[in-house]
Amino acid sequence: MASVENELELEEFDRKSFPVKAVQVKPDNIELIAKWCAGKIMHDGDKEGHLSRDYIKVRVAYPINERQTQAYLGDWVLKSGKSFKVYTNTAFEKSFTKRQPSPKPGDEVKKKVAEPAFSS
């Protein structure tokens, strides 16, 4: 297999990241998030002895399963372009890092000047 890979002259690529807007669902913002994503607050009822919980039913493009349309407390609702997605906190932390704010016009960008490794 390695010889085939060598013959193909494969190159390595990094997956491009893309910016998203995201907010974590909390008790004090669940209604506002539902409004933002045009979702509906639902109640899952008592299931298999678990406590019933509220969640936001989010319209998601191409969900693989029902859970990907349900934003419970602690989950994240993301918007990229015109689409919304739901991530559990664990999946969100593995997939996304917070973007650093871009410098505003007029802000000085400090550049670190490299010092020589040795002096003569």
> What is the band of 27 on the pLDDT scale with cuts at 50, 70, 90?
very high
Residue 46 lies in a domain: yes
Decide if pLDDT at 108 tops 80: no
Q: Is 10 among the domain residues?
A: no
Q: Beta strands 76-80 and 54-57: pairing type?
A: unpaired
Q: Does 102 map to a domain?
A: no
What pLDDT is attached to residue 47?
Answer: 61
Is residue 35 domain-resident?
yes
17: Cα within 13 Å, side-chain hemisphere = 7
Query: What would the pLDDT profile of 39-78 be if each residue is shown by its tens digit?
Result: 999 998 766 666 678 999 999 999 999 999 999 999 999 9
In a domain, 87, yes or no: yes
CB 57 within 8 A of CB 42: yes
Beta strand segments in 1-120, E: 21-24, 40-43, 54-57, 70-72, 76-80, 83-87
- 109 assigned to some structural domain: no
Distance CA 101, CA 107 (A): 12
pTM comes to: 0.70
Q: How far apart are CA 104 and CA 108, in angstroms?
A: 9
